[in-house]
Amino acid sequence: MKKYIKYAFSRTLPVLFGYIFLGIAFGIVLQQAGFNFIWAFCISLFLYAGSMQFVLVPLLAASASPLTVAITTLFVNSRHVFYGLSFIESFKKMKTQLYMIFSLSDETYSVLCSCKNEDPEEKNRPAWFLINLFDQSYWIIGSVIGALLGQVLPFDFTGIDFSMTALFVVILLDQVLAHPKVASRCAVTGLLAGIICLFIFGTGNFLLPALIVTVLFVTAFTQAERRKELP
C-alpha cells in the first residue's frame, strides 16, 4: 500500500498545485456569491465537476431548479462521455469502478492515460483509485480554503474564474510539447470545430456539437494513419 500511495502522490503532484489554486478560485467565487465554506465543501465532494462548478455559482445565485442544474451539468461535462470510453474495461476490473467513473476529471484522465501508457499491463492499477482520491481531495481542500479566504481578503476578485480556462491552456501546451503532431492536429481540429459550431448553434449550444465533430474527425485521421502503416 505504501508503494501505491507513493506512486499515486508522485503522479498527482502537478494536479495538486493546479487544483489547490483552482479550488481556491472556485471557493472565492462561491463566497462572493453569498455561499460559505460548507457549500464549497459539499459541492466539491458531491458534484466535483471542475468547470461546471464555476457555472453552478450563478445558477445557485439565481435559484435555478435542480432539473436546470442537471441538464446544464450534462452538457458542460458531456466531454467525459467521450474520453471515459477508453477506461471502461479497466474500471470494470476494479471494485471502486463507480467512484472511478464519478471522479474522472480532465486532469485525472490525463494522469491515468500517462500511467496506462507506461504500464500497459496495468500492474499499478490499485494506485489508480488513490490517484482519483488524491485529486478530488486537492480540489476540496482548495475550495474550502478559497471560501474562507474570500471572507477576509479585501480584494476585487473579478476575473478569477478565468483560472480554469488558463489550466486547460497549460494542459494543451504540455500535450503539444509531448506529442507535437497528434496534439497539434487535435487542437486545430477542435478550434475549427468550435468556431464553426459557435456560429451555427450559438454560445449556449455549441459545445456538444463541437466535441462530437472533433471526436469524429480525430478518429477518422487516426484510422487513416493506421491504414497507411499497414503493409
36 and 144 belong to one structural domain: yes
Same domain, 219 and 133: no
Q: Give tens-digit pLDDT for 160-212.
A: 666 666 766 776 777 777 778 777 788 888 889 889 988 998 876 776 788 77
| Percentage, residues of the chain above pLDDT 90 | 24
In a domain, 205, yes or no: yes
Number of domains forming the structure of the chain: 2
* Structural domain of 85: 2-159
In a domain, 102, yes or no: yes
* Residue 110 and residue 171 in contact, taking contact as beta carbons nearer than 8 Å: yes
29 lies in a domain? yes
How far, in Å, CA of 87 to CA of 66, rounded?
29
Among 124, 159, 194, the domain-final residue is 159
167 located within any domain: no
The whole-model pTM stands at: 0.72
Q: Are 218 and 138 found together in one domain? A: no
Residue 110 lies in a domain: yes
Assess contact for 131 and 115: CB atoms under 8 A: yes
- Based on the domain organization, do 86 and 36 belong to the same domain? yes
For range 71-78, the mean pLDDT: 74
Tens of pLDDT, residues 99-135: 999 999 888 988 898 888 888 888 888 899 999 999 9
If asked whether residues 27 and 97 sit together in one domain, one would say yes
* Over residues 34-53, mean pLDDT: 90
% the chain with pLDDT above 70: 90
Looking at residue 57, its pLDDT comes to 86
What is the C-alpha separation between 183 and 160, in angstroms, rounded?
A: 28
In terms of domains, do 197 and 140 share one?
Answer: no
Q: Are residues 131 and 220 in the same domain?
A: no
In this structure, the answer to whether residues 150 and 209 fall within a common structural domain is: no
The reply to whether 119 and 230 lie within a common domain is no
- The Cα 41–Cα 93 span in angstroms is 30
- 141 with 205, same domain: the answer is no
Lowest-pLDDT choice from 5-9, 40-44, 52-56, 172-176: 172-176
Query: Using CA of residue 143, residue 45, residue 11, residue 104, what is the dihedral sign?
Result: negative
Model pLDDT, residue 67: 78
The residue whose grid cell reads 471560501 is 147
Q: Does the pLDDT of residue 159 top 70, yes or no?
A: no
Residue-wise pLDDT for 137-157, tens only, equals: 999 999 999 999 887 776 666
Residue with cell 485525472: 108
